[in-house]
C-alpha cells in the first residue's frame, strides 16, 4: 500500500469509491484545518467533503449528507504494515 491516501474515498459500500482495506487501515480527514470525524465521502482534487447531517436518514437508511467546499487533507491514522 502507498503512504498517500486516494484522491476520493467513500464509507458507503455501494459507492464506486469505497475501499474496505483503506478504511480498515484508518483514514483521518482535516477539513479547513479542523479534524472531522463524521465525513462520509471526500474528494481532494475537487475540494469537498460530505458530512452526515445529524442523525437523519434517507428512505434507504443511509445518513443524509451535506456537501461542504474547502481544503481537504486526508491522512492515514497509522503506518502501513510491512
Q: Domain for residue 81, yes or no?
A: no
Number of domains in the chain: 1
Task: Please give the DSSP secondary-structure letter assigned to residue 15.
Answer: S
Contacts for 77 with CB less than 8 Å, ≥ 6 apart: 25, 26, 27, 28
Structural domain of residue 51, as residue ranges? 8-76
Q: Domain for residue 25, yes or no?
A: yes
pTM of the complete model: 0.84
Q: Domain for residue 1, yes or no?
A: no
Where residue 4 falls among pLDDT bands split at 50, 70, 90? confident
Q: Domain for residue 2, yes or no?
A: no
Task: Please give the DSSP secondary-structure letter assigned to residue 57.
Answer: E
Q: Domain for residue 69, yes or no?
A: yes
- What is the C-alpha separation between 34 and 69, in angstroms, rounded? 13
pLDDT digits (tens, 9 = 90+) for 29-78: 999 999 999 999 999 999 999 999 889 999 988 889 999 999 999 999 87
Largest CA distance in the chain: 42
Amino acid at each position: 500500500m502507498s503512504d498517500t491516501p486516494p484522491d476520493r474515498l467513500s464509507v458507503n459500500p455501494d459507492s464506486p469509491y469505497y475501499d474496505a482495506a483503506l478504511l480498515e487501515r484508518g483514514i483521518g480527514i482535516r477539513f479547513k484545518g479542523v479534524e472531522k470525524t463524521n465525513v462520509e465521502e471526500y474528494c481532494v482534487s475537487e475540494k469537498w467533503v460530505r458530512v452526515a447531517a445529524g442523525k437523519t436518514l434517507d428512505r434507504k437508511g443511509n445518513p443524509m449528507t451535506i456537501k461542504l467546499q474547502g481544503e481537504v487533507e486526508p491522512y492515514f491514522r497509522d503506518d502501513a504494515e510491512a
